[in-house]
Chains A and B, each alone.
Chain A
Amino acid sequence: MNSTFIEIIIEYFNQLFKIKRMQLTSPQGKIYPMRLLTIYDLRQEWILVIIGVIVGGLFGFLALSYKYPAWVQAACVIAGLLPAFSRHVIDIYTKHGWWSATLTTLIAAQSFHGVEHLVQWVQYHILRWPFFLASGIISAANAEWVHFGWNWIVLTIMVILVFGGLRNPFAWLMIAWTIAHTAEHTYLMWRYVQALQELAALGVPDVSAQGLPGFFGRDGWLATSELTRDTFICRFPGFTTAVRLDVHFWWNVGETILLILAANVTLRHKNQIEQP
């Protein structure tokens, strides 16, 4: 039912932008139909998925039993699923080429990253953990490095995909969105490193400085700068009123939606061009 719903939405955009269903070419020149949902379609690897879930879950449970941090437990589960996903990507590469395999990896990983943000949201708003504890699962290792690294990877892959043909209005919007998002994480990383240096200078090496406000959002630079004080900008709903977790949750939601829309548009155009 979910697939049908997603397909209806995608079809709506297809009609909006006059896109036709098309195919992509494999390295061997063979043509296979490539649909957006193929990226998420792991049915061919179901045995590996089940094994991965069991093995990953087992190691995750052991990690939990031995009181390893949550990010180690999550890493066990993810590692368990990696073989299935790797075979899936290889299959896509075999049938549709490097560009599609790269796109598949990016979309899947970006979707997982969305889950990470969702967990952060729950930790902060539902469980009411302090902001410096509400780091998600994997990010609990170090939220600043995880998100900084991830956003630069996304930007780099997006540039590669653009060179490979991901060129449509959604893709350009996605590039702009990703550049802005990455710029904010770079600013956050700069603040983080500076704060660590300040803490070290105070002789406090064991306190992390993760979770400080960034450029946008509540208490961010735009909200607290003397340049914007007493102007509408410093209390512009959402932009300077939402907490950092919410701001980055929506950064990520926007990024994922734009990526999926851009991919959908290009997949269809690309197939049309490559059709024999």
Chain B
Amino acid sequence: MAHQKLIPAVICASLLLIACSGAQTIIPSTPVAFIATKIAQLPFAIPETSCGTTFVRHELPHTTTGDSAGTYVYASNGSGLAVGDLNGDGFEDIIFGNIAGTATLYLNNGQMHFTPITTDVKDIRALAIVDTDGDGKPEVVATQRFRRPLIGDFKNGELIFHEMPDVYSPFYSMNWHDLNGDGKLDVVFGTYDTEQLQHQGLIFNERGGGGVFIYYRDGAGYRPERLNSHADALAIAFPDINHDGISDILIGNDFNRRDMAWLASPTGWQSVEPFSQTTENTMSLDVADVFNSGTNTIFATDMKPYNQDVKTMADWLPAMKKLSRPLTADDPQYPENTFQVWQDGQWQDQAYNLQIDASGWSWSGKFGDLDNDGWQDLYIVNGMVAKDLLGYLPKNQIDEPDMLFVNNAGKKFTRADWGLSDSGSGRAMTMVDLNNDGRLDVVVNPMDGHAAIYENQRCAGNSIEIRLIQPDKSNHTAIGATVRLTAGGLHMMRDVREASGYLSGESSTIHFGIGSATSVNMVTITWPDGSISHIDNIPGNTLTTITRTE
């Protein structure tokens, strides 16, 4: 009997050892707690005149430009954008980054009217509008080329930037999530070593190089954990890779560098290679329940021409020969989009089978229900401009249309136009309802072209938008929460995220198209701490704010 009494002590001692070993402990799922909520609803403001078949393009004055001497490789990767309600007026504002020029904030006055506010920051890569300090007001976070990340506070109609505390390295991509379950938002940063090496030479390595870092929120500052020391990270996502109910970390790398993944485990982050085939130059990552199966898929973009005609191939070949290099036999990378689907207990790439493997020189690729039929469509922005890489082409650019693939009830994707096939050189892109009419609009920050808003004026189905609030939590907008609901016989799922695609911030308001259904049932919210709320029968065509009351 005596040894049985020792068992709890041994377990406690083991846990203490793990805690003291320095490894980041991931909090395991706690017993499910059911949380009460209160609901506020606002009917959509649907303009009577805006019922057509296409999106309508609105051009903004903001233009992202590269180096002053022209746009060269690296600078030509462009700059990000982010959306969020900075001034608390109920409309999503937009900030566009820039490289040679300065970033511009557009305050949304509703009805597609915006007030521009110029900033003094340039050389921006990723952007986020996120409540980093848990004060209930979002801030703008920006990564910069060769400089420390910035945080911008919106006060008195101005955006005032200061350096992010405790973060001293320059980073390229970022994404926010509560990674240690302490209720506060942490951030994962990734470096872009190839550009850094060209800029700094060997000094870059001598100073410790780059890699993938988690910065855990710690008091008023951050505490870093380095996951590895090399990266060309263009995209970061938090899919549940091993289906254990906990978000993991996925890094999409450029320049033939393998993508990286870490699983959350009680002993820390465990490096894995979960995919048998991946993209070779991962430009963006998006995670979505495309089949309404309750399971997320993972989509990554790469560079592969949609048309394989002679003219297109001739345009591509010289550049591809510069960028391609022999890999090793066990290397899973292929230069085409991948669409990872969880089947038979493993991830399988279905991009080629579903004909979404080739979309051009692709950057941000994201899912969203653009026609409110209950199925998430895929939109990808494309194009490349670079004087050194594409100097043999007119205007130094591969000019390709952006690609819309409509999801046909989860069975196949069909290419459509809908006024979204603009050519140019798209980079960051996000989908957000800018005029609270229940339809997702599209915002693009291209390279060497005007930023654009594509107003969704399609006569489409009904929808519901859900905004989650945790008033007493640091993670105020419940980033990391999952919402499941049933409408019109479809079971849908969305995650609240800070970013997805390529350098693109996401709205924390999630959108569900519900087709001809007029209400949604069996709404289940899994809050970031694992607790659950159930709500039944919410009327459609409303912006529904669900506030956690406990």
B-contacting residues of A (Cβ < 8 Å)? 125-130, 132-133, 191, 194-195, 198-199, 202-204, 207, 209, 212-213, 218-221, 224, 229-230, 234-235, 241
B355 beta carbon closer than 8 Å to chain A: yes
B69 within 8 A of A: no
**Complex contact A198–B314 (CB within 8 A):** yes
Q: By the criterion CB–CB under 8 Å, are B321 and A230 in contact?
A: no
With both chains docked as a complex, state the minimum distance between the C-beta of B62 and any C-beta of chain A, in angstroms.
32
Q: Which of B318, B329, B415 contacts A199 (CB 8 A)?
A: B318
Which interface residue of B307, B313, B320, B327 has the most chain A CB atoms within 10 A?
Answer: B313
With A130-B324, A199-B318 as given contacts, are A219 and B331 in contact (CB-CB < 8 Å)? Answer: no
1/0 per residue B411-426: CB within 8 Å of A? 0101100000000000
In the complex, chain B residues whose CB is within 8 Å of the CB of A204: 318, 392
For chain B, which range describes its interface: under 10, 10 to 19, 20 to 34, or 35 or more residues? Answer: 20 to 34
Contacts of B49 in A (CB 8 A): none
- B413 nearest CB neighbor, chain A only: A230
Do A202 and B326 touch (CB < 8 A)?
Answer: no
CA distance A224 to B359 in the complex (A): 12
Q: Which residues of B contact A203 (CB under 8 A)?
A: 392
Contact A194 B310 (CB under 8 A): yes
Taking the closest CB of chain B, its distance from the CB of A127, in whole angstroms, is 7
Known A-B contacts A127-B329, A202-B392; the reply to A209 vs B313 at CB < 8 A is: yes
Are B355 and A235 in contact (CB-based, < 8 A)?
yes
CB pair B318–A207 under 8 Å, yes or no, is yes
Most B CB within 10 A of own CB, among A130, A194, A221, A235: A130
Contact of A191 among B310, B326, B355, B392 (CB under 8 A): B310
**Is the beta-carbon distance between A202 and B414 smaller than 8 angstroms?**
no
User: Does B353 have its Cβ within 8 Å of any Cβ on chain A?
Assistant: yes
Other 19 A-B pairs with CB < 8 A, given A130-B320, A132-B321: A128-B326, A128-B328, A130-B321, A130-B324, A130-B326, A132-B317, A191-B310, A195-B314, A195-B317, A198-B311, A202-B392, A207-B321, A209-B317, A212-B308, A218-B352, A224-B307, A229-B355, A230-B355, A241-B352
Chain B positions 353 through 372: 1 when the CB is less than 8 Å from some CB of chain A, otherwise 0: 10100100000000000000
List residues of chain A with CB within 8 A of the CB of B42.
none
A229 to B353, CA, bound (A): 11
> Contacts A128-B328, A130-B326, A132-B321 hold; do A209 and B355 have CB atoms under 8 A apart?
no
Contact present for A130 and B317 (CB under 8 Å): no
19 A-B residue pairings within 8 Å (CB atoms) = A125-B329, A127-B329, A128-B327, A129-B326, A130-B320, A130-B326, A132-B324, A195-B314, A199-B317, A202-B314, A202-B318, A204-B318, A207-B318, A212-B310, A218-B352, A221-B308, A224-B307, A230-B412, A230-B414
The answer on a CB contact under 8 Å between B393 and A202 is yes
Judging by beta carbons under 8 Å apart, are B331 and A128 in contact?
A: yes
* Given A130-B324, A202-B392, A219-B358, A209:B314 Cβ within 8 A: yes
